[in-house]
Amino acid sequence: MNTKVISLIAVSLLFAAPASAQVGKNSGNIAYLDVAAEADLAKLPSLTPALAKDIVAKRPFANATALDAALTGLNADQKKALYEKAFLPINLNTASEAEVMVIPGMTKRMAHEFEEYRPYTSLEQFRKEMGKYVDAKEVARLEQYVFIPINLNTASAEVIATIPGMTKRMVHEFEEYRPYQNIEQFRKEIGKYVDKNEVARFERYVTLK
């Protein structure tokens, strides 16, 4: 594997997902397209420097289908090659069938099973339910593409750290302003430290209950 791609994956795994994580455990094979640097994106399968630049300019993506639509000029095989190495994790509780189907190797039957067990409260639940249909190796592969939003007011620092691109400093800031009364408060407080695009990217991974 290209050493720069390995470096990109290593960055994405800086805070490796523990058993209690809400972001699927990454085996080390998947880079995160919502945080990767432009130069690193250009080293991934199917991505040209121009397309890598365009991806960065269009971030944050609301969901995986929005990202898929942004990959102009790539055919289905090229997208498949890319998604086997890099992806934008999907929300298990809200992703549409079209979004689920972007996952490499996904079938309509498995997309249905993804939706069947909503709402998911933990990745352990996801592993158990999907394990009824595919073996443990396939469950682990699928897990790399998904997340369950974390509860801003109760998630541990360990769980917050599993958000792609999270830093120790930002974990602290997430905790600093608890309890959050609404998502507008989250945007305001976290917006003191990162730009609005990064706030929006973080927002994909969180919820308030």
Determine the structural domain holding residue 126 and report its residue range: 3-147
41 and 26 in one domain?
Answer: yes
pTM of the model: 0.85
Whole-number Å distance between alpha carbons of 35 and 32: 6
Fill in the amino acid letter for 69.
A
State whether 143 and 156 are in the same domain.
Answer: no
- Residues 95, 20, single domain; the answer is yes
Same domain, 108 and 195: no
User: How many Å is the Cα radius of gyration of the chain?
Assistant: 17
Number of folded domains in the chain?
Answer: 2
- On whether both 133 and 188 belong to a single domain, the answer is no
Domain boundary among 147, 163, 178: 147
Q: How far apart are CA 31 and CA 176, in angstroms?
A: 29
| Same domain for 112 and 54 | yes
Looking up tokens 């690193």, which residue turns up? 40
The tens place of each residue's pLDDT in the chain, 209 residues long, gives: 454 443 444 334 333 334 345 888 888 778 999 999 999 999 999 999 999 999 999 999 999 999 999 998 899 999 999 999 999 999 999 999 999 999 999 999 999 999 999 999 999 999 999 999 999 999 999 999 999 999 999 999 999 999 999 999 999 999 999 999 999 999 999 999 999 999 999 999 999 98
Residue for token pair 């995160």: 32
- Within 10 angstroms of residue 23's Cβ, the number of other Cβ atoms is 25
